[in-house]
Amino acid sequence: MVQDCLAARARRDTWRPRLVFSSNGQGIALAGQDPQFASAMAQADIVHADGMPVVFASKLTGKPLPERIATTDFFHDAAMVAARHGFKFFILGATDAQNKAAVEAIGRTYPEVQIVGRHHGYFDDADDERICATIRASGAEILWVGLGKPRQEFWCVRNRHRLAGIAWIKTCGGLFAFLAGDAPRAPKWMQRLGLEWLYRMLDDPKRLAWRYFTTNPYAFYRLLRHTERR
């Protein structure tokens, strides 16, 4: 991240943003059902495992992943690095109230991090050009996009060409809900066992139960069926 941000500063008008996406059970299921989503994921420069099932499946290959990199954890590492180097964030997504609360929470926890702009996620495709122009004009180097799968991945791929000079475009799903205090993290032992999805579902069953019950079995099948064993 540091090298890309420094390079983007030096080539503000020509730097092509890195797309940094995450992979979890929902994403694996979507990729199997929607070729367009699979194509969008294939255009990412970096894809990290944001789900323990992905890490478990990697153990069957010749290149096992050492750990899960949850976006909700990675954000804090990125914020500390940004504070040291003066990197600027733009926060895109969620409702306006939750977006604002997340920005305020970041300011309290990391007062040295520069949040140079924010925008809620309730906009139409016709607004893309205007929003991207605002993001570029802000001087942001890292754009956090929390629009939910698959919309956030499609948005990033579709608008990459409009965001020259942004070092990283990082999808972040429900990150803003966690930062705003609207969604709790699972206990560490549940995270290690790959059960954070269960904790989240029990906390918000009306919204998440159907999603997990429909995507998890299919994602498990795809991991077993399509993981290339060593």
pLDDT at 21: 98
1: number of Cβ within 10 Å: 20
Asked whether 34 and 22 are in contact (CB, 8 A), the reply is no
pLDDT over threshold 80, residue 23: yes
Between 91 and 199, the higher pLDDT residue: 91
Phi-psi region of 68 (alpha: psi -120 to 50; beta: other; left: phi over 0): beta
Domain total of the chain: 1
pLDDT band, very low/low/confident/very high, at 230 (cuts 50, 70, 90)? low
Tell me, yes or no, whether 230 lies in a domain. Answer: no
pLDDT band, very low/low/confident/very high, at 229 (cuts 50, 70, 90)? low
Mean pLDDT computed over 47-53: 85
pLDDT band, very low/low/confident/very high, at 72 (cuts 50, 70, 90)? very high
Residues 163, 134: Cα–Cα separation, whole Å: 10
pLDDT over threshold 80, residue 212: no
Show the domain range for 109.
2-225
Q: Which of 33, 48, 3, 25 is nearest to 171 (CA)?
A: 48
Mean pLDDT computed over 6-18: 93
pLDDT at 25: 84
Residues 198, 211: Cα–Cα separation, whole Å: 11
Across all residues in the chain, what is the average pLDDT?
90
pLDDT band, very low/low/confident/very high, at 45 (cuts 50, 70, 90)? very high
Q: Is the pTM of this model over 0.85?
A: yes
Is 11 strand, coil or helix? Answer: coil
Asked whether 121 and 92 are in contact (CB, 8 A), the reply is yes
pLDDT digits (tens, 9 = 90+) for 99-138: 999 999 999 999 999 999 999 999 999 999 999 999 999 9
